A and B are shown apart, each in its own frame.
Chain A
Amino acid sequence: MKKPIDTQNIILHKCMRETLTLEAAIKESNRCLLCHDAPCSAGCPAGTDPGKFIRQIKFYNYKGAARTIRSNNILGSVCAHICPVEKLCEKACSIKALEDPININGLQRFATEYGKIHKLEPLKRSKKNNGKIAIIGCGPAGMSCASQLAKMDYDVCIFEREPSAGGVIKWNIPEFRLPEDALNYDIENLANQGVEIKFNSAIDSKESLNKLKSEGFEAVFISSGLSEAFMLDMFKTYTNALDYITFLRQVKFGKDKLNLKDKNIAVIGGGSVAIDSAVSAKSCGANRVYLISLEHLAELPADEEEIKLAQLMKIIFKSGSQVTGVIQDGNIITGIKGIEIDWVQEGKFTPDNARQVSGTEFSLNVDLVVQAIGTKPGKEVGNFAEGIKTKGKGVIMVNDTFETNIPWIFAGGDVVNGGATVVQAVAEGKKAAESMDKYLKNRR
């Protein structure tokens, strides 16, 4: 007989990566081989340097470990919860030749928590005597660039459209995967560096950018992320078809208004974001949650772990399927129609490569449609930075030092890479900061 399945709350609770106890951290750090070349450190795009902080934990230098993480990666606590480590540092761990990789992410959570609990001294405040730099967007890329510049004593100001910092981490990444404290701690560390953040201050027009120049900013870093979600045309006119950005934000900050209790939800998409959306819907009390994707189960771009979570949450997978139309009542969707597909050519997962399989038509009663089929940079980027070179869906083009075609403008993070990870955004922010420093020094 199969084991009874845990209740939803227990499943979600298990999702949050736990912080290691002191005892567990000592044991885990003692498993580490302390490799000379620390492949784990090379495996971290942002240079958080796990090789060093694990050694510090092993030698009881817990605060030192916390300092290493914080000074290398201003989003060290956030990353300790949501980095896809199995593809990064832990993938590179030497001990995998013998046994399980070191729980690097767990040790990172331990060290950052330790630093917080034991009131690690604030980071050095920028002397602000090295020139003024403006940053557009206070997500991971912007925060990381700001932190690195503050270390070099620049006077840094971040202009943020929203009333709060963090970008996607703040508004969209579900609560059950990331404790709010983690982000708050990282933001506090940044603030202590003397970085100013101007909230409710979008830079979205030529005038607002020109104003920066006249206010004495010598360089700009664009880190505005991806704020425009793709929508299927067939859903555009309906009030109960949301994009994931709006939906996940409402789940986090407007649950009462959303009222999903006993409702049926269709999530369109097969990536990590779609799974986050489906699981979030279920956690709000939704009845039936469908995950509809062109990709078949084995082809889903989401991680195995995430798929397992969705299965445990009893998400219904409509994989290898295409939505063909809606059933409506005025401007409200009451159901969707779909059909199963095969690929014309194997390995190419695009709508134009799908062949519908007749006789597999289905229809589902749904109260809400959530679309998680990708995002692109907001239109305003082209507006304020007139003449900036972009490519593809509108991502900004940069050279390998994160300079755009406009001399004083640099860019990094999702708005450049088209959507990757927090740690990648941190890495790009750091590298851009170094390159801005060089640019300004050369100009003087």
Chain B
Amino acid sequence: MKNNADLSINFCGVKFENPFCLSSSPVGYHAEMCARAFDAGWGGIVYKTLGLEKSFKVVMPSPRLNAYHVGDKRFVGLQNAEQITDRPIADNIKDLLWLKKNYPNKVLISSIMGYVDEDWTELAKMSEDAGADLLELNFSCPQMAHKHAGHRIGQDFHAVAAFTEVVKKASKLPVIAKMTPNITDMIPVALAAKEGGADAISAINTIRAITDIDIDNFTPLPNIHGNSSPTGYSGKAVKPIAMRFVSELCNSKQLNLPVSAMGGIETWVDALHFLLLGATNLQVTSGIMRYGYRIVEDMIEGLSDYMIERQIKSLDEIIGKAAQKIVDPSDFNTRYQVVSVIDENKCIGCGQCFISCQDGANQAIKFDAATRKVSVNEERCLGCLLCKHVCPVWDCISYKEVDTSYTKHAAIF
């Protein structure tokens, strides 16, 4: 009989039945949607960012989305020009109350964005009264129409520290500060949030980007009545960048705060990657926008099987397992050198590795026109493995270590 592994986590003193949460966005726009997400299995939700309409009336630009397609692969990335919520604060608060009442065991995180101290205070108090378990401070929306909000604040250390402090004073709830990736180094901002009293960091919000241009009328997309702007990019395509930021946050000894990670999570393997880098909690938007809440079923089942197969009792055993393997390039052991090995039986003779090595590496592959088979000249092979990465047969090309004392490498050492 199938046993489920224990996927529960403790994040800022709050227990989650599993680490999978909706990130703040249209996927958590109102109570009915959040309820369906809970029913599908999500452990928590970060509600769509709240703001006060008396300070700033939000109107969404239209159309607000564009997707990045690569060849026939649709929706590799998603660009959005969306603002924070455009629903009245009173309606949203009612929704939060309803959700907490009907889903007491699920975790409710209220994402808030103010423009002045008073807004932050009011939003924090209202959220706490409505039953939120945690607060997430949105310092990171890259396309707010308001001049003193979003990623502009997120790039300003002093503002981040000050607003965090205001929220901490207004509410007893644990506070997560959400970081923008539109900055060279995220650590100083995260440290500022910590200084203001933040209990955790979440990252990444979306990356400013241009995904497409209409070549007939010279307008970048989304074409918002003749104009466009570099706005928030998310989804599978940003996962490598998100992993870099998350790893830096998790590896900062000075910061030493729990991290809620997001950026391109669609499968349990993506989720596991972030856990291995050191994140405790995980959030998803684009994957849900593309495939629906149902994807959490496969995250739960897949991660659970992974743990059972390896006899992992709790996620704590694996969180951060890959973190210590991340070092500065100056610390690499360059005495270790490899060359590629091609499995002749698996080779289908397409010659893609030959072309790539010829024009993109060191001309180490020979293509036999008569047999359509390739072979590696180990003397010339750089061990870059470009060939392996272009090969359409996934397990055809591997590599082996070479002795660096007397091969061509000897000259270098």
Contacts and interface: CB of A to CB of B under 8 A. Distances in A.
Contact of B269 (A34, A56, A60): A60
Contacts of B267: 59-61
A15 B38 CA distance: 46
Nearest to A121: B2
Interface stretch (B175-183, B291-299, B354-362): B291-299
B305 A63 contact: yes
A389 interface: no
B266 interface: yes
A60 B268 contact: yes
B1 interface: yes
Contact of B297 (A34, A60, A64): A64
A210 B17 CA distance: 53
B413 interface: no
Contacts of B305: 61, 63-64
B394 interface: yes
Contacts of A67: 2, 301
Residue of B269, B305, B393, B394 with most partner-chain A CB within 10 A: B305
Q: Closest 7 A-B residue pairs measured CB to CB?
A: A61-B298, A59-B298, A64-B301, A124-B1, A61-B302, A59-B267, A63-B305
B1 to A, nearest CB: 4
Given A23-B394, A55-B294, A55-B298, A61 B268 contact: yes
Nearest to B73: A30
Nearest to B266: A59
A144 B375 CA distance: 53
Nearest to A26: B394
A240 to B, nearest CB: 47
Given A55-B294, A59-B267, A60-B268, A125 B299 contact: no
B53 to A, nearest CB: 34
Contacts of A59: 266-268, 295, 298-299, 302
A92 interface: no
Contacts of B2: 67, 121, 124
Residue of B1, B268, B298 with most partner-chain A CB within 10 A: B298
A122 interface: yes
Contacts of B298: 55-56, 59-61, 64
Nearest to A56: B298
Interface string B110-148: 000000000000000000000000000000000000000
B345 interface: no
A59 B266 CA distance: 7
Given A23-B394, A34-B291, A55-B294, A60 B302 contact: yes
B3 A121 contact: yes
17 contacts: A23-B393, A23-B394, A55-B294, A56-B297, A56-B301, A59-B266, A60-B302, A61-B267, A61-B297, A61-B298, A61-B305, A63-B302, A63-B305, A64-B298, A67-B301, A124-B2, A125-B1
Interface string B282-312: 0000000001001101110110010001000
A123 interface: yes
A34 B301 CA distance: 18
A332 to B, nearest CB: 52
- Which bracket fits the contact residues of B? 20 to 34
Given A23-B394, A34-B291, A59-B295, A64 B302 contact: yes
Contacts of A124: 1-2
Contacts of B3: 121
Contacts of A23: 393-395
Contacts of A34: 291
Interface string A17-49: 000001100000000001000000000000000
Contacts of B268: 59-61
B76 to A, nearest CB: 12
Interface of B: 1-3, 266-269, 291, 294-295, 297-299, 301-302, 305, 309, 393-395
A29 to B, nearest CB: 11
Nearest to B296: A59
A7 to B, nearest CB: 22
Interface string A143-159: 00000000000000000
B1 A123 contact: yes
Contacts of B266: 59
Contact of B301 (A61, A118, A121): A61
B301 A63 contact: yes
Given A61-B298, A63-B302, 10 more contacts: A23-B394, A23-B395, A59-B295, A59-B299, A60-B269, A60-B298, A61-B268, A61-B297, A122-B1, A124-B1
A67 B305 CA distance: 12
A363 to B, nearest CB: 52
A55 B393 CA distance: 23
A125 B1 CA distance: 7
A103 to B, nearest CB: 17
B327 to A, nearest CB: 28
A151 to B, nearest CB: 11
A58 to B, nearest CB: 8
Nearest to A120: B2
Nearest to B302: A61
A67 B267 CA distance: 18
Interface string A61-90: 101100100000000000000000000000
Given A59-B268, A61-B268, A63-B305, A121 B295 contact: no
B121 to A, nearest CB: 42
Interface in A95-131: 118, 121-125
A232 B3 CA distance: 57
Interface in A136-179: none
A63 B297 CA distance: 12
Contacts of B301: 56, 61, 63-64, 67
A63 B309 CA distance: 11
Contacts of A22: 394
Interface string A363-384: 0000000000000000000000
A193 to B, nearest CB: 10
A169 to B, nearest CB: 26
A424 B395 CA distance: 39
Nearest to A71: B2
Interface in A241-261: none
Contacts of B1: 121-125
A118 B2 CA distance: 14
Residue of A56, A61, A64, A121 with most partner-chain B CB within 10 A: A61
Contacts of A55: 291, 294, 298
A422 to B, nearest CB: 25
B91 to A, nearest CB: 28
A89 B310 CA distance: 36
A60 B265 CA distance: 13
A34 B394 CA distance: 25
A414 to B, nearest CB: 32
A93 B295 CA distance: 21
B228 to A, nearest CB: 29
A124 B395 CA distance: 36
Nearest to A36: B292
A109 to B, nearest CB: 19
Contacts of B309: 118
Contacts of B294: 55
A362 to B, nearest CB: 49
Nearest to B392: A23
Nearest to B287: A59
